[in-house]
């Protein structure tokens, strides 16, 4: 397969790799705080993730120049359109990861990510309202991505602007996330199962309440109340539900969508770290350690499978 054809099929969903890598980086930052690791590993992952982000952006920019019609197809696709905000979410995650290192760099990542994500949210919700072709069977967890990005904004946003700005975005994300959750469970209860390729995106269900907990924790002055506990324990239940169906996921072959395993688990584990900081309960400390070890293996495995797929030219291909 020639390089031009592979560029034509370069998917916007490639940014999901960045979500997993930066989420894991933030997880490592929390691990250093809790366990006082003497070796700085998170910075290596942070700058490696930034390099990969720039490479992906370069390829997608070249695709936009050479194949603008393919970009339009992705925008008009009921599933692929929801992956465009992974670009702005990547910027927001870099803002969170850089916050303890360089507040100026973090600020510009946050500002650009926030403005861009608001644009994506308005655009996508407008398309949802005006569309004439979307069906209930098209609904899948990727639809949560635009809502989740809004919930991420307050995590570093509370350090830069009025708290009301953060509440504005948190409200958008939480409201639409709740609506989409009801629609999604209606879809899976009464319609055909998700296609195999989209099954890994079920993990995104974990991310919405987990990220909501982290964001609300920041908005609530880094303290726990009953609502924050509801958000955390619901994400914990969804994790148990998904791992209860481990056999189904263990039988899946690798897809680019397999990166959906990583960020939601990283978000849950960051929530574990915050819960531990306040409660000092050993359970959350050891749960954090177990999930950190699991995430390390998962990130290495997904990285290997992705590089292997690129080498074997089984991604960036024409879809059937």
213 pLDDT higher than 70: yes
Res 135: pLDDT: 84
pLDDT band at 56 (very low <50, low <70, confident <90, very high): very high
Res 293: pLDDT: 94
Res 302: pLDDT: 95
Lowest mean pLDDT among 31-45, 142-156, 158-172, 209-223: 31-45
C-alpha closest to that of 118 among 108, 110, 130: 110
Average pLDDT over residues 183-198: 89
CA distances for 266 relative to 24, 98, 146, angstroms: 6, 17, 18
Domains of the chain: 3-311 (1.50.10.150)
Res 97: pLDDT: 95
Distance CA 317, CA 320 (A): 9
Per-residue pLDDT reduced to its tens digit, 104-119 = 999 999 999 999 999 9
Q: Can you state the angle between helices 42-66 and 16-35, rounded to 10 degrees? A: 170
192 pLDDT higher than 80: yes
179 Cβ partners below 8 Å, 6+ apart? none
Average pLDDT over residues 126-137: 84
Per-residue pLDDT reduced to its tens digit, 80-89 = 999 999 999 9
Per-residue pLDDT reduced to its tens digit, 245-282 = 988 888 888 888 899 999 999 999 999 999 999 988 88
Distance CA 297, CA 63 (A): 32
pLDDT band at 39 (very low <50, low <70, confident <90, very high): low
Distance CA 47, CA 51 (A): 6
212 pLDDT higher than 90: yes
Q: Quick one: how many helices (H) and strands (E) in the chain?
A: 13, 0
Average pLDDT over residues 21-34: 93
38 pLDDT higher than 70: no
- With b meaning 16 or more CB within 10 Å and e meaning fewer, what string describes 34-72? beeeeeeebeebbeebbebbeebeeebeebeeebeebee
Mean pLDDT of the chain: 91
Res 269: pLDDT: 96
124 Cβ partners below 8 Å, 6+ apart? 81, 82, 84, 85, 146
Q: What percent of the chain clears pLDDT 90, i.e. is strictly above it?
A: 67
Distance CA 98, CA 94 (A): 6
13 pLDDT higher than 80: yes
Radius of gyration (Cα) for the chain, nearest Å? 19
pLDDT band at 2 (very low <50, low <70, confident <90, very high): low
CB atoms inside a 10 Å sphere around CB 122: 12
Distance CA 150, CA 88 (A): 10
């Amino acid at each position: 397969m020639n390089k031009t054809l592979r560029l034509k099929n370069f998917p916007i969903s490639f940014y999901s790799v960045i979500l997993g890598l930066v989420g894991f980086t933030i997880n490592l930052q929390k691990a250093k705080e809790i366990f006082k690791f003497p070796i700085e590993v998170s910075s290596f992952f942070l700058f490696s993730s930034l390099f990969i982000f720039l490479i992906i952006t370069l390829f997608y920019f070249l695709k936009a120049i050479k194949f603008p019609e393919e970009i339009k197809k992705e925008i008009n696709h009921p599933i692929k359109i929801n992956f465009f905000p992974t670009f702005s979410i990547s910027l927001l995650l870099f803002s969170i990861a850089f916050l303890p290192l360089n507040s100026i760099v973090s600020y510009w990542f946050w500002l650009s990510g926030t403005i861009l994500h608001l644009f994506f949210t308005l655009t996508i919700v407008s398309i949802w309202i005006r569309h004439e072709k979307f069906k209930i069977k098209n609904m899948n967890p990727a639809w949560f991505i635009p809502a989740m990005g809004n919930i991420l904004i307050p995590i570093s946003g509370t350090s830069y602007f009025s708290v009301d700005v953060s509440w504005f975005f948190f409200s958008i994300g939480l409201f639409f996330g709740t609506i989409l959750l009801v629609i999604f469970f209606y879809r899976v209860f009464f319609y055909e199962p998700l296609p195999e390729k989209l099954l890994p995106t079920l993990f995104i269900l974990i991310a919405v309440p987990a990220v909501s907990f982290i964001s609300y924790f920041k908005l609530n002055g880094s303290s726990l109340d009953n609502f924050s506990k509801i958000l955390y324990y619901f994400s914990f239940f969804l994790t148990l539900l998904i791992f209860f169906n481990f056999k189904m996921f263990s039988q899946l072959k690798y897809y680019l969508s397999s990166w959906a395993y990583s960020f939601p688990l990283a978000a849950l584990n960051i929530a574990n770290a915050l819960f531990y900081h306040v409660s000092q309960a050993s359970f959350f400390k050891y749960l954090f350690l177990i999930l950190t070890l699991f995430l390390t293996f998962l990130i290495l495995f997904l990285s290997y499978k992705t590089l292997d797929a690129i080498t074997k030219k089984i991604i960036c291909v024409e879809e059937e």
